Structure 1
Amino acid sequence: MLDLDAEVLRPLLTETTALLEELAGDRPPRRILDLGSGTGAGTFALLQRFPEAESVAVDASATMLHRLQEKAHELGPADRAHTVQADLDGEWPPLGTFDLVWASASLHHLTDPDRGLGEVFSVLRPGGLLAVLELDSLPGFLPYDLGFGRPGFEERCRAVLAERTGHDVPHLGADWGPHLSRAGFAVKVERVFDFELAPPLPPAAGRYAEATLRRGRAHLYDRLDPDDQAVLDALLEEGGPHHVLRRSDLTVRTTRKAWVAERP
């Protein structure tokens, strides 16, 4: 799903890395830290934008880092993409000093994000940049009326997920500007990216919708009423008449927020 997210929302990576290049000016980063790197969408976008740089990707998941290394060999920059497995809620491993830190959809997972930002401050050189990208909720894909089941299915699912994530992931949707300021950073840019992709969509968008629904299913299914459970089952039934990939009216609707801050 992370790979599909990066493919479908490619403009977000393009615009944000271009902004970082502009802010870096005549001092392009040589060492980049990707916090909570996942499969490396940010890592590879940054290595493409800054061809003289090397990166260190940190993630708690060995599976994610293995996929990142595979992609590094497929795409070419294997000698510039390094990985470190670490739980950022625990003791940070020795990482060295960096010119740029990238944290995409990772800060909200930290138990104590202010402590994490303090660690970032300590590994970032003076004048270095921190880019934070975050989301408020999962993307939307479905029309209000699916043609079966009760209208408003996706809105009800999103409300259930918002209630659950508000309890399990309390920092999701936070305003990171005050957190950055408390950690000693000077916030340079705050930007909101609103995406709405209309049909006809590329094949990756349909797969992205399906992957998102499958991931969300585990978190919301037991909180849906039987009618909505049946709708979700039908949308995810391989080969079924209502399978999500059969729909021609899918859209992609999401909002992402970005903060770029500097260590004085």
Structure 2
Amino acid sequence: MTGPIAAIVLAGSRPGADPLLAGSGVPTKALLPVAGQPMLIHVVTALRAAPEVGAITILAQDSAALAAEPGLAGIADLHFATSGEGISSSLAAALPPGDDPLLVTTADNVLLTPAMIAEFLRGAVDSDVAVAMVERDVLLAHYPESRRTWLKFRGGWWSGANLFRLRGQRVLPLLDFWGRIERDRKKGLKIIAAFGPWLLIGALLRLFTIQQGVARAGRRFGLAAKVVPMSDPVACIDADKPADIALIEAIFAARGEAAIGRRL
């Protein structure tokens, strides 16, 4: 990568009521407070602190409401764009021209750190599509109480870490395909099956690793696709459920205590 990479934060609302918002008085998940401030603030702060990241765009149906959040005032090179209903179509419309790379994350990826961003972008070099993932043993060795959706392959079970690198307009066919299956995003086998019977059979029989499976899926679209294994177990802990938020706040508290210890 020769210069800073542009970043998009997906901060929209999915159809239907979000149980996390019940009784909160907050209009959208991105503004739900976690560890004392809205989720979105944590994510944007981490991105802005990463020297590899350039312009940041918040993508949401009601981008004006997010732009009015006081905690985002004064953050350099921060922009807002209005999305459509679907993640894939909205992201496709926001892709940079040509082959310029784009970093994508989500507003509920509240434990994101500059170190995670740097590790992911180093691992994503020379790819058209890269996906950050955490292997189950890495997570459960530290947070056995965490409940994730796992993809089972030879050599490990993997969970997504809400970090993606996309190579500009090259990925449009993949996003179009994803738009047709994203409703099943939490159903691992359905996602794998959508890429064809060989990939499904290979996953079921553990014939290949997840790196090999993702590379094979990418070739279907003429893309160099790779998985970037993340070393920090919290990279795959996002704020989907009340139990997630409780764990995230405990992790933030531990981070604060560690920082105090380093200063003493």
TM-score by length of 1: 0.35
TM-score by length of 2: 0.35
